[in-house]
Structure 1
Amino acid sequence: MATADVTVMGGGIFGLAIGWECARRGARVVLCEAERIGAGPSGGLVGALAPHVPEQWNAKKAFQFESLVMAEEFWAGVREASGRDPGYARTGRLQPLADAAAVALARGRETGAEALWRGLARWRVVEAPGDGWAPESPTGLCIEDTLTARLHPRDAGAALAAAIRMRGGVVEEGRAEPPAGVLGQRRSPGALIWATGVAGLAALSADLGRQVGSGVKGQSARLACEAQARPQIFADGLHIVPHHDGTVAVGSTAEREFDAPDTTDGQIEVLIERARALCPSLRDAPVIERWAGVRPRARSLAPMLGEWPGRAGHFIANGGFKIGFGMAPKVAEVLADLVLEGRDAIPAGFRVEDSL
């Protein structure tokens, strides 16, 4: 295997995005995935790239905002390099408003969005469309935001892997250990980035002697429905996400305790029925897939980025949980800055030590 400037362990969204960004900048990249691209939660169904509410601004919300703003250019670059469509589109999102208190709160956030989102996207209260797609709103009003986007998880992963290869990088599936000759096994230049999800959180916890994160199970479903240009819906804690391939994803659960990590159960059936009740267009749409998987959640609730304590040349990129796809462009940028240029732009709250 070729000598690498950067070796990435893990073929989920963080590992692939970092590998692509480093390759795009001219680094020699080797990416190793223990099973296959999309084997873990990054091969799920939902793909909602949705912002936090524009108030009580903090480093996490600012980082996510910057990532969502840069996403269009990032994914366009992946598409051009790979010749594959990652399914990205900034189609916005609707959220019905249940009562007068919810309307007042949403209107207050309009002002916050004008300042915090710097005119790059809108958050506003509008009349509910009443077109059979969005849920009926008790107030006749809903929140419309134009920052929310969608991405097809599996197509995005395949496109990133292809883009890395097109830039001369190596993507090897079925390899759980770094290739011989990279940092950590023999003396060699380069960086070793661990983006290994739930297994990586367990390994880091064992190495540091304390729990830095855990896995949270999620279940979701995919229905056949031609709604490619429709906005996403977020209602009653449920995401409804139209995709470019004529499907709509609905999800997801958040289960801290579970026995069967990759098995769906009655909770997904409840989710599907809720989605049908909320969205008239889905009432007769056939279910074509049910999915379950375990997502990595850091103790800090933010992505965990930076050097592995006590291991020179080793770096961590983990803890994407529900927002990994939305955070990926910015995560890739700051990790590439760190390992290729020695420039540390990781915000407060995102460092490995913040989860200790």
Structure 2
Amino acid sequence: MAIADVTVLGAGIFGLSAAYACARRGARVRVIEAARIGAGSSGGVVGALAPHTPENWNAKKQVQFDSLMRAEAWWTEIAAATGMDPGYARLGRVQPLADDRALALAEARAVQAETLWQGRAAWRIRPVSDFPGWAPDSPTGQIIHDTLTARLHPAKACAAMAEALRQMGAEILIGDHAPRGKIIEATGAAGLAELSTALGAVVGNAVKGQAAVLGHDARDLPQLFVEGLHVVPHTDGTTAVGSTSEREFDAPARTDALLEDVIARARAAVPALAEAPVLARWAGLRPRAKSRAPMLGAHPLRPDHVILNGGFKIGFGMAPELAEMVADLVLEGRDRIPDAFRPEASLPRAPAP
């Protein structure tokens, strides 16, 4: 049986994951990246692998659940193979409950999670006192603690996956190189911009995010979601806070006053962070498809290519399962892509006859 040749364009989390899934199945893989590994949002610092709420179940939530369940073995394998820590840990997430209405809704979701999460994770209502010195104030005295949410360090995870690929014999090339074999395009915000320009309609767009790394060690504690912010402790003893969602921006890679506001809000909401020094600031672009779901299937401009794009906010959490779908399609011709993920969900509709 001939060895399949696969070229992946883009070395963000989607591209590296697709390459890894194909290489694990014996394909000869080449990754071509225009700038550097994790050049876009995949080189960030937050890394919240957080699920959607356990209600109104749909294909997107099911794939996300399957991917979060797959993630521990996926990242453990990569860490063991490379000796590099991607920062993965599944310690859950804590959210305050603002009032009795929020508490009642959380209780209803807890019941639904028992079925939808198949007993493999839970959506729990717990007292704030269960996490002394860490959980933010909650007017009800209660919090949500879900045990499905995980975390990793985006830039370190991409570096570890790139090393795993090299160890498997894959090429990772920076710059302009010739593709070969079957081609997967995972080119992020630039790829969505190309589609929008070519089709004369918005297919997707870049959303700027800004985040910071603080010098506070909470590595054994769950992450927080408070005041619209993710507060994510990392295994290296730092804590990341973020992020903004900016549809309009001037400098994609430059932080500004919006990040200072994020830091101030995080410190106000989480007293443990009040005196934590800022160790690093980050800004980058996240690709958001018009459908708000990942985009996977035949490329609208090059139907013999496969597109994998649109991982806005959920890319790292969805990557393991989407990568396996891509490998199924490219290597086996097996299509198990949900309709909601197909490019057509974001493309302009043809006018009615």
TM range (shorter): over 0.9
TM alignment of 1:35-50, pairs within 5 A: 35-50=35-50
Q: Does 1:325 align with 2:325?
A: no
Contact preservation (8 Å) 2:43, 2:155: yes
Q: Does 1:91 align with 2:91?
A: yes
Change (3 A) 1:192 1:130: closer
- In structure 1, the partner of 2:345 is 354
Alpha-carbon distance between aligned partners in 1 of 2:15 and 2:147, rounded to the nearest angstrom: 28
- In structure 1, the partner of 2:148 is 147
How far 1:130 moved relative to its partner?
5.0
SS at match of 1:217: strand
Structure 2, unmatched stretches of 5+, are 348-353
Alpha-carbon distance between aligned partners in 1 of 2:182 and 2:247, rounded to the nearest angstrom: 33
Contact preservation (8 Å) 2:4, 2:331: no
Contact preservation (8 Å) 1:79, 1:85: yes
- In structure 2, the partner of 1:156 is 157
- In structure 1, the partner of 2:109 is 109
Tell me which amino acid in the other structure corresponds to 2:292.
L
Residues 101-138 of structure 1: CA deviation (Å, up to 9, x unaligned):
11001001011100100001000111113511110111
Alpha-carbon distance between aligned partners in 2 of 1:192 and 1:353, rounded to the nearest angstrom: 19
Alpha-carbon distance between aligned partners in 2 of 1:276 and 1:75, rounded to the nearest angstrom: 31
Change (3 A) 1:130 1:17: closer
Tell me which amino acid in the other structure corresponds to 1:207.
A
Q: Does 1:202 align with 2:201?
A: no
TM alignment of 1:154-233, pairs within 5 A: 154-173=155-174, 175=175, 177-179=176-178, 182=180, 190-233=181-224
Alpha-carbon distance between aligned partners in 2 of 1:244 and 1:329, rounded to the nearest angstrom: 21
Q: Does 1:299 align with 2:290?
A: yes
Alpha-carbon distance between aligned partners in 2 of 1:312 and 1:289, rounded to the nearest angstrom: 41
Residues 251-310 of structure 1: CA deviation (Å, up to 9, x unaligned):
001111111111111111111011111112111110011111111000010000011135
Change (3 A) 1:291 1:310: closer
CA RMSD of aligned residues (A): 1.3
How far 1:249 moved relative to its partner?
0.4
Structure 1, unmatched stretches of 5+, are 183-189
- In structure 2, the partner of 1:14 is 14
Tell me which amino acid in the other structure corresponds to 2:88.
Y
Alpha-carbon distance between aligned partners in 1 of 2:32 and 2:92, rounded to the nearest angstrom: 34
Alpha-carbon distance between aligned partners in 2 of 1:351 and 1:85, rounded to the nearest angstrom: 33
Between stretches 147-156 and 31-40, larger displacement belongs to 31-40
How far 1:222 moved relative to its partner?
0.4
Tell me which amino acid in the other structure corresponds to 2:156.
D
- In structure 2, the partner of 1:52 is 52
How far 1:23 moved relative to its partner?
0.6
Alpha-carbon distance between aligned partners in 1 of 2:44 and 2:97, rounded to the nearest angstrom: 29
Alpha-carbon distance between aligned partners in 2 of 1:153 and 1:315, rounded to the nearest angstrom: 24
- In structure 2, the partner of 1:270 is 261
Tell me which amino acid in the other structure corresponds to 2:120.
L
Contact preservation (8 Å) 1:121, 1:145: yes
For normalisation by structure 2, the TM-score amounts to: 0.95
Alpha-carbon distance between aligned partners in 1 of 2:33 and 2:301, rounded to the nearest angstrom: 24
Alpha-carbon distance between aligned partners in 2 of 1:202 and 1:54, rounded to the nearest angstrom: 33
SS at match of 1:290: strand
SS at match of 1:15: helix
Contact preservation (8 Å) 2:267, 2:273: yes
Contact preservation (8 Å) 2:213, 2:278: yes
Moved over 6 A (4+): none
- In structure 2, the partner of 1:186 is none
Alpha-carbon distance between aligned partners in 1 of 2:80 and 2:197, rounded to the nearest angstrom: 41
- In structure 2, the partner of 1:185 is none
Between stretches 192-201 and 304-313, larger displacement belongs to 304-313
How far 1:206 moved relative to its partner?
3.0
Q: Does 1:238 align with 2:243?
A: no
Number of equivalences: 344
Alpha-carbon distance between aligned partners in 2 of 1:77 and 1:313, rounded to the nearest angstrom: 32
Alpha-carbon distance between aligned partners in 2 of 1:350 and 1:304, rounded to the nearest angstrom: 5
- In structure 2, the partner of 1:288 is 279
Residues 302-351 of structure 1: CA deviation (Å, up to 9, x unaligned):
00001113524311000001110001001101001000100001112100
